[in-house]
């Protein structure tokens, strides 16, 4: 990003350390009773340094902190800058939204505590320039987000939290072992070193799976549709908009790119998995009846596209910078739009009223259509950059993926239509609209609509944006999707029964998430009596032996025995001494 | 091998020792045990005196001194033994009386 | 006079004469037997200490009583082991004497039977000091007939002491003790006679130098060995020991277990030290086997006991075993073996005496010594229970105690000679000791708050003397070089 | 300089002296007892600090005392012992503070604190032991000084636990004893400062050396709670919380683990141990212990019991690190000595608070405790996270180095052990945290002793766990700084073992 204000290096470093530092300090303030009021008021602003850093810092600036943890580096690079921008915007606006949304919640302080620390760690993970720093913040963020998911303390929330935490734990150890394997072959743990290393199968699998859990890739996506709906709206927004991108960022940071990678099957795996996820998410999403669940499935589907993109980069290493560019733009677009949708749902559900339906539906329509790639929206730009990458691929891939892109847009459109219908049917009867919630949403919408237009890559799109072909390519999936859904609604007004595939789909095969038990592993022994009883029995046997010994001792006391011993011993000694 | 008087005395001494030993082990009564010990002691003393006789030419005074001392020791230990035996006897008597009394009342 | 004392070797006679004088005085001063008794103990202690100092600084020596030369005169001889035993007796004896003072005072204060306790005390002091004199005489004796005499003196005074408590059980025990020791000493005497017949000498060293395996000598060796085994209560001759030791008065138990046993064993050791090279492995192995059985059997019986003093008495039976398993080890390393076993003897003496004293204190305070009913006694008598536990540690052979050092020396001998069965015995003995001692200590030191008889009735000196003795047992864990230096001084 | 030599003795005396005086104090003289306790603890810390500075500057401290010709008690301060001494003396201070409040009105306090001081004296002795004999000497004494603490409650259960404890530790002590004597008979005095001592014997006496190693290992393994020898540890949790803290974090278990380090690194030396093939069995054993402890912990409902099994598992990390034998793994193992201590002591302090303040002993009753005891539970959470091995807690640092070391040594499977252990740790710690923080309170607390002013409990019960928790966070967070245990361990491995 072009920085118009030039900061000297000291200030830049200060800003850099404030990015995760300020939210952490604020979260600590929330723990102290007298400071809670101020803390709550200032909470959203603590993302300001991050925003500033995303906009103002020179890419490539580094802060070396040798004493910290295992020694590490924080800094901003191009990729990080975009992710930081996304994170800062979404976290900040959701926080503003949340302040109003949770106004009457008695436990909002606790919510904001977890919110702020998750935020801090999320920023930290974007800034981290070494392996362990990334891992550190990644893990911390995952665990702090648990507090957001289970905030409502409903049974569903607990169940979702349980699934989430189990997967987080598994992800943690997968990453731990993967990084360990990787680190053992590296001279140091800088990210730049990692990118240059040659791939090693086991550690790649581990890292891939570890990040896939967070990124919601198939089949590790099961926590997403369970966790997103139960969390409070601002939390869902950041979860879906920003936090799952951490998995994506992990891939980008840790997958070694090079000819060796291209020859292995990794690229294909990513691409196939991405495509599968893109359609699978839509398919299952269409069967859901709750707005936030549908959005969660949409996220799965969208993450599929990004997975596919990463796969493209692996297939042809020469394209890696473009892929990075495309992924970060797509992530930015999707994050903003998805956050806007979640906040919109929150606004509608919490505060909506009959009278304002139409314009509020309008608020939701914009990000929806953007996701489907409506021309001149952020989606269009994102998809354009994606297509540029796809076209550059070797032959079979460019064909296939060229076909895939409009189809995925169509699928997205179908799903979002489904979503809009659900929202439309779910308005409660309230009248007032809180500006505290509306304002952040509007800012977010503005960002969705306008931010990408200021992007350096825009000129390419601006050149071709008005092209007939491009226009049509963006438009027909939207229109077709709309048409299909209208037809569908007319024929089956009731929609598909929700019980067909419940939220969490594949999880049901192995585990019933509505299980009433709280313990992770079923029954817990409250006492262990068996072993001890055995010991007592043995002691009883000993007692009998002791009795026998006492009898023998009495016999030894008889004079006759003593005399016998005396003589025997005399004789024996004689024999022994004379060595007979 | 020809038995000299020395041999006879010596063997008698040893025999006495063994007889005493048998008495000590086999007799149940305390008094008999004490007497048995005295017999043993006598046996040993006899043996010592035999040694003093040696080959009959020179009489060694040392074993005599030993026997004299031994007799003193033996006398005193017999005294102690008798005193103790008396006490034990008394107690056994008392115990029997008590037992009988208890039985009679029961 | 003083010059005479400093020059000559008459230092040797003091540890024998002084307690004898004390005994006489306390016998004569019927009203106040305690004062001469304790004083006599104190003086004897200093005399013994002086003897030890003299030995270390000037080497060993001989003393002919009244200037009479052997064979008719009585000769005393001081070398390292003898003086070590004298010193051990002095330390333990002093502690026991101090304890006894408090013990009798407490008993006299306690109940209505003042006269009986007074009478007991009147008999105790002369008997005890006589015993002490006899023991010292036995250790310092150079000729084997004197050994017999002192052996008998020890036996008679111990029997008297055993019978002192007046309890029926103690009378029976004393009677049996007397008969056994008479049997033992008469066997010994017969053995002496045989030896004299062959060698025409009574001097232990002279006999040892000219030893052969003539039938008479073998006979003598057998008689002496078995007689002393009887007196040392080596398994299977241990039957008289537990009742005698457990039913006596507390100071007497300590004396019997801590000192008297060692006396008989000392003679045994002295004989075998000379004989060992002659007789070969078999006999030594036999002794060690008996010792091993004693260790296991004694520990096992100790574990079965319900009464604290019985437990401690049986523990003596077990510990005696250690005194005999050293013999096979001494064939290859006589010096190291002797050092180990003497170290064991002195630490056992202090520890065991401390334990018996402590047990006596508990008995006096609580009125019984049933182990299972002693819970919480720690709160009343912290020092005493601590002393008991510390003594127990030494028996177990745990650091930092003399027992540890002794066990260490034993084990290192056994290991370096690769006698694994002895290693097993030593280890098993330690384990078993741990089992029975922990059983008692767990109750005594139990933190459970049980109302054990109210105010403290025992004299402070009882608590302190037991503790002091236990601390000496602990201290022995640190003064190894000193002790070994003393042992190595030749005659 | 003369003070050099006496410094080590003074370090021992600084707790022994107060301990002995405390024994003789009356039950009611609370003030003087507390003063003595704290005076001793602080003095010790100051002395230890002096010692560390000395070591850092290259001074050597050693005291020799001959107990028999050829047998010496040696106290020597090398960097490794400084690590353990520092850990013990710092944690002792906190445990003492905690115990003073914890046992406020219970009987037998003089007795308790007397043994408490004795126990730490002996632990310091173990740490400073300069040869195997001295190690054995103090190691056996440790058993004796901790037993009264284990049975301090005097209940039937406590007595039974005490019996089990004695049986295990005394038996272990005997095995160690045999091993030490045997080694001494073969190789003469085994001084820790001469690790190459056994190398010439390898050729001729390989088998004997192996047997001796297993004897020694069994001896220290009992206290370190290695798998088949761990039975006493979960039972011993009936002791009061400060005692558990002491057993698990400062003294007994730690002494065992420290013993393993000493035996492998200083007695045998890595090369000899490797030549004899001793490391792999130890590695397997500790891996099994790690798994076994965690699996057993899963099914415990009693909080302290679960923590005890967790110790079984965690302490074996230390043995694991040593047995892997690469410098990084040794660092990981050694540093876990400190890390595990900090974390586990926090957990036991917290468990004690929960039991003392609310009367809760079972995990199933802990729902909603987080709101009643937020500070305590926060400390607990930090420590539990560390146990799981999440960054940036201390536990992660150990695990990371263990893993790296294992890979460097070509023992990749160790990584899976670590991974599985982390998962299991998560499985038994996370439900506790969840119940405490996110569940609603069910019914009344069994015995709520009420808040103290604005605090949730007595301040001396809160401050120690908070400090240890924060420290356990800091040692992880600042692991790379030059003052961290990791830095010291690196120093040890570099200077002490030249790795």
Query: Cβ contact (<8 Å) for C226 and A566?
Result: yes
Note the pLDDT of residue A3: 45
Query: Cβ contact (<8 Å) for C405 and D66?
Result: no
Place of tokens 């598909």: A496
Distance from the A68 Cα atom to the nearest Cα atom in chain D, whole angstroms: 5
Residues of chain C contacting residue B58, judged by C-beta atoms under 8 Å apart:
none
The residue-averaged pLDDT of C352-356 equals 94
Residue B73 has pLDDT above 80, yes or no: yes
Q: Which of A149-153, C220-224, D251-255, D375-379 has the lowest mean pLDDT?
A: A149-153
Is residue D219 a part of any domain in this protein? no
Tokens coding D277: 């093939």
Note the pLDDT of residue A465: 63
Contacts of A39 (CB under 8 A, 6+ apart): A26, A27, A29, A30, A109, A112
Would you say C309 and C287 are in contact if contact means Cβ atoms under 8 Å apart? no
C375-to-A418, B52, C310 alpha-carbon distances in Å: 79, 63, 18
Phi-psi region of C376 (alpha: psi -120 to 50; beta: other; left: phi over 0): left
Tokens coding A85: 């921008």
Query: Cβ contact (<8 Å) for A574 and C218?
Result: yes
pLDDT band at A580 (very low <50, low <70, confident <90, very high): low
pLDDT tens across D197-241, in order? 788 888 888 888 899 999 999 999 999 888 888 888 888 888 888
| DSSP collapsed to 3 states, C108-158 | HHHCCCHHHHHHHHHHHHHHHHHHHHHHHHHHHECEHHHHHHHHHHHHHHH
Query: What is the spatial distance between Cα C268 and Cα C281, in angstroms, rounded to a whole number?
Result: 17
CA dihedral A465, A467, A473, A479 (to 10 degrees): 90
Tokens coding C436: 């029975």
CB atoms within 10 A of CB A517: 10
The CA-to-CA distance between both ends of chain B, in Å, stands at 70
Q: Which residue in chain A has the smallest CA separation from C239? A: A557
Would you say C34 and C125 are in contact if contact means Cβ atoms under 8 Å apart? yes
Of B14, B65, B91, the CB nearest to C171: B91
Q: What average pLDDT does chain D have?
A: 87
The residue-averaged pLDDT of A284-292 equals 82
C11-to-A189, C15, C49, C69 alpha-carbon distances in Å: 82, 8, 10, 18
Global confidence as pTM: 0.86
Residues of chain C numbered 368-387 and touching chain D (CB < 8 Å): 378-379, 382
Note the pLDDT of residue A528: 41
Note the pLDDT of residue C294: 94
Cis peptide before C71 (omega within 30 of 0): yes
pLDDT band at A531 (very low <50, low <70, confident <90, very high): very low
Residue A355 has pLDDT above 70, yes or no: no
The residue-averaged pLDDT of C397-409 equals 88
Place of tokens 């200037």: C67
Would you say D425 and D294 are in contact if contact means Cβ atoms under 8 Å apart? yes
Residue A239 has pLDDT above 60, yes or no: yes
Residues of chain A contacting residue B21, judged by C-beta atoms under 8 Å apart:
563, 566
Query: Cβ contact (<8 Å) for B24 and A560?
Result: no
- Domain residues for the domain of D356 are 299-499
The residue-averaged pLDDT of C280-296 equals 90
Note the pLDDT of residue A524: 41
| DSSP collapsed to 3 states, D51-97 | HHHHHHCCCCEEEEEEEECCEEEEEEECHHHHHHHHHHHHHHHHHHH
Note the pLDDT of residue A433: 58
Question: Which of D118, D111, D109 lies closest to D145, judged by CA?
Answer: D118
pLDDT tens across D131-156, in order? 888 999 899 889 888 888 888 888 88
Residue A322 has pLDDT above 90, yes or no: no
Of C237, C283, C303, the CB nearest to A562: C237
Residue A36 has pLDDT above 50, yes or no: yes
Q: What average pLDDT does chain A have?
A: 79
The residue-averaged pLDDT of C58-64 equals 81
Note the pLDDT of residue A179: 86
Residue A46 has pLDDT above 80, yes or no: yes
Is residue D403 a part of any domain in this protein? yes
pLDDT tens across A476-510, in order? 877 888 888 788 777 776 665 555 666 666 666 66
Residues of chain A contacting residue C301, judged by C-beta atoms under 8 Å apart:
549-550, 553
Would you say D462 and D377 are in contact if contact means Cβ atoms under 8 Å apart? no
Residues of chain C contacting residue A550, judged by C-beta atoms under 8 Å apart:
301, 304
Question: Which of A101, A146, A160 lies closest to A343, judged by CA?
Answer: A101
Is residue D272 a part of any domain in this protein? no
Query: What is the spatial distance between Cα A115 and Cα A53, in angstroms, rounded to a whole number?
Result: 20
Note the pLDDT of residue C296: 92
ipTM over 0.90: no
Distance from the A533 Cα atom to the nearest Cα atom in chain B, whole angstroms: 44
pLDDT band at A354 (very low <50, low <70, confident <90, very high): very low
Would you say A455 and A381 are in contact if contact means Cβ atoms under 8 Å apart? yes
For testing the chain B interface, which of A558, A564, A565, A567 should be mutated: the one with the most B CBs within 10 Å? A567
Residues of chain C contacting residue D151, judged by C-beta atoms under 8 Å apart:
442, 446-447
Query: What is the spatial distance between Cα A71 and Cα A94, in angstroms, rounded to a whole number?
Result: 33
Q: What is the DSSP letter of D364?
A: G
Tokens coding A303: 């993450």
Does A546 touch chain C if contact means CB atoms closer than 8 Å? yes
Total domains, chain D: 1
Query: Cβ contact (<8 Å) for D430 and A169?
Result: yes
A422 vs D338: which has the higher pLDDT: D338
Residue C400 has pLDDT above 70, yes or no: yes
Contacts of D319 (CB under 8 A, 6+ apart): D224, D226, D257, D260, D282, D285, D286, D289, D333
Note the pLDDT of residue A159: 81
Query: What is the spatial distance between Cα D405 and Cα D323, in angstroms, rounded to a whole number?
Result: 11
Sign of the alpha-carbon torsion through A533, A537, A538, A540: positive
Query: Cβ contact (<8 Å) for C193 and B44?
Result: yes
Please report how the helices A468-491 and A378-391 are oriented relative to each other, as an axis angle in degrees rounded to 10: 110
Is residue D156 a part of any domain in this protein? no
Interface of A with B (CB under 8 A): 559-560, 562-563, 566
Note the pLDDT of residue A462: 65
Would you say C78 and C491 are in contact if contact means Cβ atoms under 8 Å apart? yes
Residue A251 has pLDDT above 80, yes or no: yes
Note the pLDDT of residue A59: 77
Sign of the alpha-carbon torsion through A35, A38, A43, A47: negative
Residue C282 has pLDDT above 70, yes or no: yes
The residue-averaged pLDDT of C428-456 equals 80
pLDDT tens across A102-142, in order? 877 788 888 888 899 999 999 989 988 888 888 888 988 99
Distance from the D185 Cα atom to the nearest Cα atom in chain C, whole angstroms: 5
Residue C229 has pLDDT above 90, yes or no: yes
- Phi then psi for residue A513, to 5 deg, are -70, -10
Note the pLDDT of residue A131: 86
A416 vs B38: which has the higher pLDDT: B38
Distance from the D149 Cα atom to the nearest Cα atom in chain C, whole angstroms: 10
The residue-averaged pLDDT of A412-427 equals 79
Q: Which of B55-64, C53-62, C299-308, D86-95 has the lowest mean pLDDT?
A: B55-64
Contacts of D184 (CB under 8 A, 6+ apart): C412, D71, D132, D133, D190
Residue C22 has pLDDT above 50, yes or no: yes
Query: Cβ contact (<8 Å) for D69 and C434?
Result: no
Of C379, C408, C427, the CB nearest to D174: C427
For testing the chain A interface, which of C181, C183, C239, C240 should be mutated: the one with the most A CBs within 10 Å? C239
3-state secondary structure of A78: helix
Residue C162 has pLDDT above 90, yes or no: yes
Residues of chain A contacting residue D363, judged by C-beta atoms under 8 Å apart:
524
Residues of chain C contacting residue D137, judged by C-beta atoms under 8 Å apart:
399-400, 404
Query: What is the spatial distance between Cα D116 and Cα D36, in angstroms, rounded to a whole number?
Result: 12
Cis peptide before C378 (omega within 30 of 0): no
Note the pLDDT of residue A502: 67
Query: What is the spatial distance between Cα D216 and Cα D197, in angstroms, rounded to a whole number?
Result: 16
- Phi then psi for residue C380, to 5 deg, are -85, -45
Is residue D200 a part of any domain in this protein? no
pLDDT band at D1 (very low <50, low <70, confident <90, very high): very low
Residue A525 has pLDDT above 60, yes or no: no
Query: Cβ contact (<8 Å) for D400 and A67?
Result: no
Residue C205 has pLDDT above 60, yes or no: yes
Most confident of C118-122, C252-256, D31-35: C252-256
Note the pLDDT of residue A512: 60
Note whether D touches B: 3 CB pairs or more under 8 A: no
3-state secondary structure of A258: coil
Sign of the alpha-carbon torsion through C395, C399, C404, C408: positive
Note the pLDDT of residue C157: 94
Length of chain D in terms of residues written: 499
Question: Which of C191, C332, C180 lies closest to A573, judged by CA?
Answer: C191
Domains of chain B, with CATH numbers? Answer: 5-105 (1.10.287.3510)
pLDDT tens across D393-450, in order? 888 999 999 998 998 888 888 888 998 999 899 888 988 888 888 777 877 887 777 7
Phi-psi region of C370 (alpha: psi -120 to 50; beta: other; left: phi over 0): beta
3-state secondary structure of D492: helix
Query: What is the spatial distance between Cα A571 and Cα C223, in angstroms, rounded to a whole number?
Result: 10
Query: What is the spatial distance between Cα D499 and Cα D496, in angstroms, rounded to a whole number?
Result: 8
Would you say A313 and A323 are in contact if contact means Cβ atoms under 8 Å apart? yes
Distance from the A570 Cα atom to the nearest Cα atom in chain B, whole angstroms: 13
Q: Which of A87-101, A231-245, B50-64, C207-221 has the lowest mean pLDDT?
A: B50-64
Residues of chain B contacting residue A562, judged by C-beta atoms under 8 Å apart:
25
The residue-averaged pLDDT of C202-223 equals 85
Residues of chain B contacting residue A563, judged by C-beta atoms under 8 Å apart:
21-22, 24-26
Is residue D325 a part of any domain in this protein? yes
Is residue D413 a part of any domain in this protein? yes
Using alpha carbons only, what angle is made at residue B80 by residues B77 and B83, rounded to the nearest 5 degrees?
150
CA–centroid distance for C221 within its chain: 23
Note the pLDDT of residue D299: 83
Residues of chain D contacting residue C404, judged by C-beta atoms under 8 Å apart:
137, 140
Tokens coding A203: 């550690």
Is residue D102 a part of any domain in this protein? no
- How deeply is C438 buried, as exposed, middle or buried, from its count of CB atoms within 10 A (0-12, 13-18, 19+)? buried
Query: Cβ contact (<8 Å) for C171 and B65?
Result: no
Note the pLDDT of residue C8: 59
Note the pLDDT of residue A417: 84
C387-to-C305, C431, C455, C471, D13 alpha-carbon distances in Å: 21, 20, 20, 8, 21
Query: What is the spatial distance between Cα A314 and Cα A320, in angstroms, rounded to a whole number?
Result: 7
- Phi then psi for residue A501, to 5 deg, are -130, 110
Distance from the B91 Cα atom to the nearest Cα atom in chain C, whole angstroms: 7
Residue A20 has pLDDT above 80, yes or no: yes
Most confident of A436-445, D246-255, D398-407: D398-407
């Amino acid at each position: 990003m072009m920085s118009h204000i030039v900061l000297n290096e000291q200030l830049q470093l200060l800003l850099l350390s404030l990015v995760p530092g300020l939210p952490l300090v604020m979260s600590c303030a929330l723990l102290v009773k007298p400071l809670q009021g101020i803390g709550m008021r200032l909470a959203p602003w603590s993302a300001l340094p991050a925003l500033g850093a995303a906009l103002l810092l020179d890419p490539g600036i580094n802060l070396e902190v040798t004493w910290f943890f295992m020694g590490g580096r924080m800094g901003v690079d191009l990729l990080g800058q975009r992710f930081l921008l996304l994170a800062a915007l979404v976290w900040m606006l959701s926080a503003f939204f949340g302040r109003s949304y949770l106004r009457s919640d008695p436990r909002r302080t606790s919510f904001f505590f977890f919110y702020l620390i998750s935020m801090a760690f999320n920023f930290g993970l974007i800034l981290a320039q070494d392996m362990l720093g990334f891992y550190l913040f990644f893990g911390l963020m995952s665990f702090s987000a648990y507090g957001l998911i289970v905030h409502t303390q409903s049974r569903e929330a607990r169940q979702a939290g349980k699934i989430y935490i189990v997967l987080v734990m598994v992800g943690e150890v997968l990453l731990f072992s993967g990084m360990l394997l990787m680190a053992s072959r590296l001279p140091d743990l800088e990210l730049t070193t990692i990118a240059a290393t040659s791939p090693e199968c086991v550690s790649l699998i581990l890292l891939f799976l570890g990040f896939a859990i967070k990124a919601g890739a198939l089949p590790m996506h099961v926590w997403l549709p369970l966790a997103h709906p139960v969390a409070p709206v601002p939390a869902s927004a950041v979860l879906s908009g920003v936090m799952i991108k951490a998995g994506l960022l992990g891939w980008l940071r840790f997958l070694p790119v090079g000819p060796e990678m291209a020859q292995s099957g990794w690229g294909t795996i990513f691409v196939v998995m991405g495509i599968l996820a893109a359609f699978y998410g839509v398919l299952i999403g269409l069967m859901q009846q709750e707005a936030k669940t549908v959005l969660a499935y949409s996220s799965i589907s969208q993450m599929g596209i990004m997975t596919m993109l990463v796969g493209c980069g692996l297939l042809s290493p020469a394209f890696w910078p473009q892929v990075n560019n495309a992924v970060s733009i797509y992530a930015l677009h999707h994050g903003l739009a998805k956050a806007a949708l979640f906040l919109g749902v929150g606004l509608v559900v919490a505060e909506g009223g009959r009278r304002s339906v139409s314009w509020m539906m309008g608020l939701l329509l914009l990000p929806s259509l953007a996701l489907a790639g409506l021309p001149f929206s952020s989606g269009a730009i994102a998809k354009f950059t994606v297509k540029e990458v796809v076209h550059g691929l070797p032959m079979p891939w460019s064909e296939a993926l060229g076909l895939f892109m409009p189809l995925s847009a169509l699928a997205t459109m179908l799903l979002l239509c489904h979503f809009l219908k659900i929202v439309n049917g779910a308005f409660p009867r309230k009248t007032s609209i809180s500006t505290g919630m509306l304002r952040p949403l509007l800012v977010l919408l503005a960002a969705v609509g306008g931010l990408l237009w200021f992007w350096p890559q825009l000129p390419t799109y601006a050149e071709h944006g008005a092209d007939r072909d491009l226009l049509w390519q963006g438009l027909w999936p939207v229109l077709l999707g709309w048409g299909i859904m209208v037809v569908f609604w007319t024929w089956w007004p009731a929609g598909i029964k929700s019980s067909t595939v419940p939220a969490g789909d594949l999880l049901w095969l192995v585990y019933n998430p509505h299980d009433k038990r709280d313990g992770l592993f079923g029954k817990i022994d409250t006492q262990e009596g068996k072993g001890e009883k055995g010991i007592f029995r043995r002691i009883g046997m000993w007692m009998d032996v002791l009795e026998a010994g006492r009898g023998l001792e009495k016999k030894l006391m008889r004079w006759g025995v003593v005399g016998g011993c005396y003589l025997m011993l005399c004789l024996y000694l004689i024999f022994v001494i004379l060595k007979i | 091998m020809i038995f000299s008087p020395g041999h006879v005395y010596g063997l008698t001494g040893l025999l006495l020792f063994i007889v005493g030993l048998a008495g000590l082990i086999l007799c149940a009564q305390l008094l008999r045990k004490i007497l048995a010990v005295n017999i043993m002691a006598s046996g040993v003393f006899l043996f010592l005196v035999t040694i003093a006789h040696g080959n009959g030419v020179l009489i060694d005074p040392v074993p005599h001194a030993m026997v004299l001392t031994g007799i003193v020791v033996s006398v005193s230990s017999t005294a102690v033994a008798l005193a103790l035996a008396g006490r034990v006897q008394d107690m056994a008597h008392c115990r029997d009386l008590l037992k009988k009394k208890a039985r009679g009342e029961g | 006079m003083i010059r005479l004392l400093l020059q000559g070797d008459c230092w040797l006679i003091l540890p024998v004469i002084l307690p004898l004088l004390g005994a006489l005085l306390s016998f004569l001063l019927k009203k106040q037997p305690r004062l001469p008794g304790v004083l006599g103990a104190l003086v004897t202690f200093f005399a013994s200490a002086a003897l030890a100092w003299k030995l270390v600084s000037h080497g060993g020596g001989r003393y002919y009583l009244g200037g009479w030369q052997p064979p008719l005169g009585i000769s005393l001889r001081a070398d390292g082991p003898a003086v070590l035993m004298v010193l051990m007796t002095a330390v333990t004896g002093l502690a026991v004497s101090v304890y006894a003072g408090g013990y009798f005072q407490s008993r006299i204060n306690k109940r209505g039977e003042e006269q009986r306790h007074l009478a007991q005390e009147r008999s105790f002091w002369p008997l005890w000091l006589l015993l002490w004199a006899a023991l010292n005489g036995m250790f310092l004796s150079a000729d084997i007939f004197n050994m017999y005499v002192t052996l008998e003196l020890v036996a008679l005074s111990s029997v008297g002491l055993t019978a002192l408590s007046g309890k029926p059980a103690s009378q029976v025990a004393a009677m049996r003790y007397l008969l056994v020791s008479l049997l033992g000493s008469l066997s010994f005497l017969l053995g002496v006679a045989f030896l004299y017949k062959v060698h025409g000498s009574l001097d232990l060293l002279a006999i040892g130098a000219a030893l052969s395996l003539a039938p008479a000598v073998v006979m003598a060796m057998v008689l002496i060995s078995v007689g002393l085994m009887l007196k040392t209560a080596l398994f299977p001759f241990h039957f008289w020991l537990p009742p005698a030791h457990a039913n006596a008065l507390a100071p007497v138990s300590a004396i019997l277990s801590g000192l008297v046993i060692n006396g008989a064993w000392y003679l045994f050791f002295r004989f075998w030290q000379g004989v060992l090279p002659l007789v070969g492995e078999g006999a030594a192995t036999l002794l060690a086997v008996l010792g091993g059985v004693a260790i296991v059997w004694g520990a096992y019986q100790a574990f079965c006991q319900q009464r604290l003093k019985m437990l401690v008495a049986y523990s003596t039976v077990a510990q005696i075993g250690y005194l005999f398993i050293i013999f096979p080890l001494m064939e290859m390393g006589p010096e190291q073996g002797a050092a180990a076993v003497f170290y064991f003897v002195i630490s056992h003496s202090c520890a065991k005496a401390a334990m018996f004293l402590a047990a006596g204190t508990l008995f006096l305070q609580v009125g019984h010594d049933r182990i299972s009913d002693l819970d919480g006694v720690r709160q009343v008598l912290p020092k005493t229970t601590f002393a008991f536990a510390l003594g127990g540690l030494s028996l177990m052979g745990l650091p930092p105690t003399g027992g540890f050092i002794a066990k260490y020396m034993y084990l290192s001998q056994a290991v370096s000679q690769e006698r694994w069965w002895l290693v097993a015995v030593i280890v098993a003995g330690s384990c078993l000791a741990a089992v029975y001692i922990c059983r008692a200590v767990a109750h005594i030191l139990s933190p459970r708050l049980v109302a054990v008889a109210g105010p403290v009735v025992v004299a402070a000196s009882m608590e302190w003397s037991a503790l002091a003795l236990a601390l000496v047992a602990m201290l022995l864990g640190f003064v190894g070089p000193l002790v070994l230096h003393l042992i190595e001084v030749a005659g | 300089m003369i003070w050099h030599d006496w410094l080590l003795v003074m370090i021992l005396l600084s707790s022994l002296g107060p301990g002995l005086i405390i024994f003789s104090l009356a039950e009611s003289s609370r003030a003087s007892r507390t003063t003595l306790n704290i005076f001793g603890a602080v003095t010790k810390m100051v002395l230890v600090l002096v010692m560390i500075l000395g070591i850092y500057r290259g001074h050597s401290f050693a005291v020799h005392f001959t107990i028999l010709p050829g047998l010496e008690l040696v106290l020597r301060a090398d960097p490794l012992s400084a690590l353990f001494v520092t850990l013990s003396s710092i944690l002792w201070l906190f445990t003492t503070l905690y115990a003073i409040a914890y046992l406020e009105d219970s009987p037998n306090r003089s007795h308790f604190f007397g043994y408490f001081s004795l126990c730490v004296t002996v632990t310091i002795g173990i740490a400073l032991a300069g040869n195997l004999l001295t190690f054995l000497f103090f190691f056996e004494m440790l058993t004796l000084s901790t037993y009264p603490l284990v049975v301090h409650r005097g209940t039937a259960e406590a007595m039974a636990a005490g019996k089990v404890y004695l049986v295990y530790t005394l038996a272990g002590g005997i095995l160690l004893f045999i091993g030490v004597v045997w080694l001494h008979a073969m190789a003469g005095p085994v001084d820790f400062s001469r690790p190459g001592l056994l190398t010439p014997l390898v050729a001729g006496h390989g088998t004997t050396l192996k047997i001796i190693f297993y004897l020694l290992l069994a001896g220290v393994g009992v206290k370190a709670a290695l798998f088949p020898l761990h039975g006493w540890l979960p039972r011993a949790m009936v002791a009061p919380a400060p005692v558990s803290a002491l057993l698990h974090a400062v003294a007994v278990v730690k002494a065992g683990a420290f013993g393993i380090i000493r035996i492998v690194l200083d007695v045998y030396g890595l090369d000899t141990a490797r030549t004899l093939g001793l490391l792999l069995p130890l590695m397997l054993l500790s891996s099994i212990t790690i798994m076994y402890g965690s699996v057993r912990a899963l099914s415990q409902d009693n909080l302290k019991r679960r923590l005890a099994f967790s110790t079984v598992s965690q302490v074996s990390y230390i043995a694991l690190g040593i047995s892997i034998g690469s410098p990084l793994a040794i660092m990981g193992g050694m540093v876990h000595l400190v890390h595990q201590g900090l974390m586990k002591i926090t957990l036991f302090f917290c468990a004690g608070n929960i039991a003392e303040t609310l009367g809760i002993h079972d995990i199933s009753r802990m729902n909603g405790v987080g709101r009643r005891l937020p500070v305590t539970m926060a400390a607990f959470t930090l420590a539990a996270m560390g146990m799981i091995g999440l960054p940036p807690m201390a536990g992660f640092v150990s695990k990371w180095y263990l893993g790296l070391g294992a890979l460097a040594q070509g023992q990749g499977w160790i990584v899976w052990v670590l991974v599985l252990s982390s998962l299991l740790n998560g499985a038994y710690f996370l439900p506790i945290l969840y119940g405490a923080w996110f569940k609603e309170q069910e019914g009344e607390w069994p015995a709520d002793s009420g808040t103290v002013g604005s605090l949730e409990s007595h301040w001396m019960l809160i401050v120690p766990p908070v400090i240890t928790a924060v420290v356990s966070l800091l040692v992880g967070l600042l692991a790379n700084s030059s003052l961290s245990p990791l830095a010291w361990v690196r120093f040890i491995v570099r200077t002490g073992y030249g790795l």
